[in-house]
């Protein structure tokens, strides 16, 4: 279950409700990196760090932008090294800023966010204990900032996600989180994330992404997933991942014509991706094409595309891979290949990532998939 810490949106805690000198320029940098204009983003943010060194968010956003660019161009290990180096540079800065501006809870929010972002490296390496302790250390500072300023809407995002996560995990975490005044609740967690998505200044970006993820791949509510992912695509049309989220929502909502237009557009957009992005996102797109083909009962085509997705999968996290195995198992069940189907379901279960695919695969081990 710790793998769900991948969702902890420390990247999304970008601005508080208070207006700081330099906000407009930093906003420009944020929008640039969400639209994959990484060089423009870093040029803006590098300059902003010099001009507005006391801005509560600029150093954290700069580190996130450097990491995001590295993920788009470099192997995973290199991206991790870039992140760790950037965080090593900014964490001492935030330690000083929180002392200098001790009455401003926003500095604690960003300090906690930076600590929490450091959990991203052990997460990818499946070092669960280290992931938990780094995330929890960051959470404590974020929770303190929220206590100091209960109206801080951007803090709703990480707090809500922790509540959602802990509700579904072991009793030790539930006990620990209660010490900080939070009662683990799936409903309350979702409510907090939804507040951030609907009302926060900047956390809405990652909050919408998190809710799209949850409603597509954990809680299975594609109508809500479509609402949040469409908002993202409308604001960041060049973001391939956001488009993938909306594409899957459209497929699951039987909006096949819109999905086909999206697939055509995404195939064209892929030309402009970096080689690393192509290797990451091409299997995602192949899976979506397979899912659409399956919905249209084009089972041979669906099997072809889902095999491509599985064979070439190189995403850092394996949630989509689990759904690839689940879909392939369903296809093989329909073709009466029960042994092959169960092999796929077991491959899905072995990922142990607690996505919705896992529970469904467990059900199909005992009872084959069929169309009523």
Query: Got the DSSP string for 28-42?
Result: HHHHHHHTT-HHHHH
Tell me the mean pLDDT in the region 168-188: 68
Helices then strands (H, E): number in the chain?
19, 0
User: What dotted CATH number matches 234-366?
Assistant: 1.25.40.10
Please determine, for residue 239, whether its predicted confidence score (pLDDT) is greater than 50: yes
Class of domain 2-219: mainly alpha
> How much is the pLDDT for 10?
45
What DSSP state is assigned to residue 201? S
- pLDDT, tens digit, 9 for 90 and up, residues 68-100: 999 999 988 899 999 999 999 999 999 999 999
Dist CA 142 CA 115 (whole Å): 10
State the pLDDT confidence band at 325, using cuts at 50, 70 and 90. Answer: very high
Domain spans of the chain, in order of start: 2-219, 234-366
DSSP letters along 73-100, please?
A: HS-HHHHHHHHHHHHHHHHHHHHHHHHH
Exposure of 309 by Cβ count < 10 A (0-12 exposed, 13-18 middle, 19+ buried)? buried
Of 111-120, 171-180, 188-197, 314-323, the poorest mean pLDDT is in 171-180
Residue 140: the pLDDT is: 85
Place of tokens 């793998």: 3
pLDDT of residue 269: 97
**pLDDT tops 70 at residue 372:** yes
Share of the chain above pLDDT 90, in %: 70
Which H helix or E strand runs over 21? none
Instruction: Grade residue 2 by pLDDT with cuts at 50, 70 and 90.
Output: very low
Gap between the Cα atoms of 112 and 297, Å rounded: 48
Whole-angstrom distance, CA of residue 207 vs CA of residue 47: 28
pLDDT above 70: percentage of residues in the chain: 88
In whole angstroms, give the CA distance from residue 326 to residue 349.
Answer: 9
Per-residue pLDDT at 169 exceeds 80 = no
Whether the predicted model's global pTM rises above the 0.85 cut: yes
Residues contacting 336, CB < 8 A, separation 6+: none
Phi, psi of 13, rounded to the nearest 5 degrees? -85, 75
Are 2-219 and 234-366 in the same CATH fold? yes
């Amino acid at each position: 279950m710790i793998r769900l810490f991948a969702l902890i949106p420390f990247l999304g805690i970008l601005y508080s409700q208070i207006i700081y000198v330099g906000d407009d320029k930093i906003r420009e940098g944020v929008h640039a990196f969400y639209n994959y204009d990484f060089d423009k983003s870093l040029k803006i943010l590098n300059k902003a760090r010099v001009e507005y060194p006391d801005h509560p968010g600029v150093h954290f956003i700069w580190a996130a932008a450097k990491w995001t660019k590295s993920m788009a161009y470099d192997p995973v290990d290199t991206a991790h090294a870039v992140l760790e180096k950037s965080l090593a540079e900014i964490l001492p800065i935030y330690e000083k800023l929180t002392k200098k501006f001790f009455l401003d809870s926003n500095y604690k929010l960003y300090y906690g966010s930076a600590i929490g972002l450091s959990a991203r490296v052990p997460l990818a390496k499946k070092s669960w204990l280290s992931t938990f302790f780094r995330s929890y250390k960051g959470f404590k500072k974020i929770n303190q900032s929220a206590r100091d300023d209960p109206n801080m809407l951007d803090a709703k995002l990480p707090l809500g996600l922790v509540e959602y996560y802990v509700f579904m995990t072991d009793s030790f975490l539930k006990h620990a989180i209660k010490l900080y005044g939070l009662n683990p609740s799936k409903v309350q967690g979702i409510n907090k994330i939804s507040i951030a998505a609907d009302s926060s200044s900047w956390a809405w970006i990652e909050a919408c992404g998190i809710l799209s993820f949850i409603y597509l791949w954990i809680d299975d509510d594609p109508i809500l997933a479509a609402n949040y992912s469409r908002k993202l695509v409308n604001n960041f049309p060049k973001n391939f991942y956001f488009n993938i989220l909306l594409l899957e929502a459209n497929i699951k909502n039987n909006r096949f014509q819109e999905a086909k237009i999206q697939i055509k557009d995404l195939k064209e957009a892929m030309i402009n991706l970096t080689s690393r992005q192509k290797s990451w996102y091409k299997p995602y797109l192949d899976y979506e094409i397979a899912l659409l083909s399956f919905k249209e009962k084009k089972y041979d085509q669906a099997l072809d595309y889902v095999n491509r997705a599985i064979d070439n999968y190189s995403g850092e996290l394996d949630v989509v891979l689990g759904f690839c195995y689940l879909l392939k198992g369903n296809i093989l069940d329909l073709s009466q290949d029960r042994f092959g189907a169960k092999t796929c379901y077991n491959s899905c279960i072995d990922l142990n990532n607690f996505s919705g695919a896992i529970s469904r695969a467990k059900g199909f081990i005992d009872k084959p998939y069929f169309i009523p």
